[in-house]
Amino acid sequence: MVEFNILGIGILSWMIFLPVLGMLVIIFIPKAYENSIKYFSLIFTFLLIVLSVVLLLNYNSSMPGVNMPDSFQFREKVSWIDVPIPAVVGEGKIHIDYFLGLDGISLPMIILTALISFVGSIASFSIKRNEKGYYVLYLFLVTGMMGVFCSLDLFLFFVFWEIMLLPMYFLIGIWGGERREYAAIKFFLYTLFGSVFILIAMIALYFSSKDPATGLHTFNMITLMNPAAIIPGSILGGIGTSFRYLAFVALFIGFAIKVPMFPFHTWLPDAHVEAPTAISVILAGVLLKMGSYGIMRVSYPIFPDGAVYFMYPLAILACINIIYGALCAMAQKDFKKLIAYSSISHMGYVMLGIASNTNVGFNGAIFQMFNHGTITAVLFLSVGVIYDRAHTRGLNDFGGLANKMPKYFAVIIVAFFASIGLPGLSAFISESFVFLGGFKNETIRIITIVSTLGIILNAAYILWTIQRLFFGKLPEKWNQLTDINGRELWSTVPLLVIIVVLGIFPSLFINLMTSSVNQLVNFIWHLN
């Protein structure tokens, strides 16, 4: 469906700005009713899920999108800024659109965002201090994330990309753990540092482009993908020029910090460990995907020459991520930090899939983004469960929890096995697709083979963690621990269901994106 309006407003705008509506509602809730704030947040995030189901039902998976403006679905395009600038002959106009649309690459991310936001909302119930501020910022964060995944105008994309930092800074900085101030500012500065490079590349693209239809410079991503829209002789003109490679690298640095890729990953363990549970869930579940999404949405189709040129270094970085992340995870004594490093490792799979430049690899990468989102969300929620009860996350402080907390054990074991990539669970499919893709590409075949080492390391630290937490003798002091409660089950079980169902019927998901992925791969190789 090309357009879909509710009350005259496009459905994607609803998805982006519904949380803002929620913010306003929460801000104006009178003091006497402040206890109900969390339910409002729950309602508004649930509405996002409803909307994303509507999207799914109306989505036509045969329309590829990517670089074809007419096959994007649920499009909305409104002129935002439109001003003539003086004296610059011919292109004397500044034009920015409010331009939204969905294709097979962004749809999975939208669904993931809605899902994780809702789960995070449930997990936020344990926040007791200053709830009003917390939920206002939380919903603002959701707006930023939705905006990034829906935008098709680079300027709009950038604005959402940046404003999402503000709520994140406060959410980590106010409601976080002991070293929250340090973690918050580190996260903020790292990402802003990356944004600088995105901004430069973005402005350079603007001045190198000329929309064939209007004759103006443009921020429209889809137009920028069209080689005919790049002015020959401009900064980023031509194919495979050094400035184009530089711009690709600039964009990559900006996105890689978010993924996070080695060597830009050091903000992640700090941010994860200090953030409250719900925010860790959002961070791992959605935020990291913004980086890899940015690479697939912006870097690759706009600079297909760079995508192929940098295939090898990208694969090496991905390989380092996989193995280094797994080794670091193995060395951790803190449960949350372990999951944080395992995220680095798993995002390495995503990057390997992206670096492979093959249909299978891309499918695997997007599917892995989604799976990592759901699995890591369950894992962080599980860390929250144990931390809320025991007020420690030290892996060596526990043992024998399997008998004490059987339901908890059941939940976490599914997530752990999914994380290892056990057949029958969703991550198995995505990881094998990634490796298939990597193997298919001769340039990076060797690196792919090396990367498979990650699977073993991954299994090693997960199994070791299970052993340390759940087997052996239960220390005396944990005799009072209670099993996972209803609310916590509500936040984890739906995700587990998704993990299992997608493990058995991956085609449900993969069919959504196949045509877009094919289009992207063809487009990249067509131009090289």
Partner 1 sequence: MQLKQTLDSLNNFLPETTIIITLLVCIIADIILNKKSPITSLIAIAGLLIASYFVSLQIGIKTSIFSGMIVVDPYSVFFKFLFILSTIFVIIFAYASKEMKNSGHKNEHVYLMLSLTLGAFLMSSSINFLMMYLSLELVSLSSYILAGYTKKVKRSSEAAMKYVIYGAASSGIMIYAMSLLYGFTGSMNIFEIGRFLTSNSAGSNPIMIISIVMITAGFGYKISSVPFHFWTPDVYEGSPIPITAFLAVTSSASGFAVLIRFFSTTFLKSYEAINGNWQIIDGVKWTEILIVISVASMIIGNFVAIWQTSLKRLLAYSSIAQTGYILLGLVVANQAGLQAMFVYLIAYLFMNLGAFYATIMISNKLNSDNMEDMKGLGYRSPFVCVSMTIFMFALSGIPATAGFVGKFYLFSALIEQRMLWLALIGLLNSVVSLFFYVKVVKYMFLMRPDTGSTSKIQYGFGNYVVLLLLAVPTIFFGIYFTPLLRIAEASISMFGIK
CB of 89 to partner 1, least distance (A): 6
What residue type is 350 in one-letter code? V
82 forms part of the interface with partner 1 (CB under 8 A): yes
CB of 290 to partner 1, least distance (A): 15
DSSP secondary structure letter of residue 406: H
Distance CA 431, CA 434 (A): 5
Q: Pick one of 20, 21, 54, 192: the residue that binds partner 1 (CB under 8 A).
A: 192
Token match 């209007």: residue? 214
Complex with partner 1: residue 137 or 259, whichever CB lies closer: 137
435 and 452 Cβ atoms separated by less than 8 Å: yes
Complex with partner 1: residue 101 or 176, whichever CB lies closer: 176
86 forms part of the interface with partner 1 (CB under 8 A): yes
Distance CA 162, CA 147 (A): 11
- DSSP H or E stretch at residue 99: strand 93-102
Tokens of 139: 């919903």
CB of 203 to partner 1, least distance (A): 5
235 forms part of the interface with partner 1 (CB under 8 A): yes
Distance CA 428, CA 424 (A): 7
196 forms part of the interface with partner 1 (CB under 8 A): yes
Backbone angles phi, psi at 120, to 5 degrees: -60, -35
CB of 271 to partner 1, least distance (A): 14
Spell out, one character per residue from 25 to 64, where the chain touches partner 1: x when CB under 8 A holds, - when not. ----------------------------------------
- Give the dihedral sign, CA 324/455/330/480: positive
CB of 211 to partner 1, least distance (A): 17
Contact stretch for partner 1 (CB under 8 A) within 74-82, 434-442, 480-488, 495-503: 74-82
CB of 22 to partner 1, least distance (A): 18
SS3 85: coil
CB of 260 to partner 1, least distance (A): 17
CB of 414 to partner 1, least distance (A): 37
Determine if residue 85 is left, alpha or beta; phi over 0 gives left, psi from -120 to 50 gives alpha, anything else beta.
beta
162 forms part of the interface with partner 1 (CB under 8 A): yes
Contact stretch for partner 1 (CB under 8 A) within 186-194, 269-277, 340-348, 441-449: 186-194
Q: Pick one of 159, 327, 413, 422: the residue that binds partner 1 (CB under 8 A).
A: 159
Instruction: Kindly give, in sequence order, each residue whose CB lies less than 8 Å from that of residue 9, ignoring residues fewer than 6 positions away.
Output: none
Token match 């990249």: residue? 524
**CA contacts within 13 A on the Cβ side of 511:** 9
Q: For residue 468, what are the CA distances in angstroms to 396, 401, 473? A: 6, 9, 10
Residues 128-147, interacting with partner 1 (CB under 8 A) = 130
185 forms part of the interface with partner 1 (CB under 8 A): yes
Complex with partner 1: residue 19 or 69, whichever CB lies closer: 19
Q: Pick one of 29, 54, 166, 481: the residue that binds partner 1 (CB under 8 A).
A: 166
Distance CA 6, CA 484 (A): 39
CB of 28 to partner 1, least distance (A): 14
Q: Pick one of 14, 44, 99, 158: the residue that binds partner 1 (CB under 8 A).
A: 158
260 and 283 Cβ atoms separated by less than 8 Å: no
286 forms part of the interface with partner 1 (CB under 8 A): no
Contact stretch for partner 1 (CB under 8 A) within 75-83, 113-121, 220-228, 425-433: 75-83
Token match 């791969």: residue? 521
Q: Pick one of 165, 261, 322, 466: the residue that binds partner 1 (CB under 8 A).
A: 165
**CA contacts within 13 A on the Cβ side of 31:** 0
Q: How many CB atoms lie within 10 A of CB 486?
A: 7
Which residues are near partner 1 by CB under 8 A? 80-89, 94, 130, 158-159, 162-163, 165-166, 169-170, 173-174, 180-181, 184-185, 188-189, 192-193, 196, 199-200, 203-204, 206-207, 235
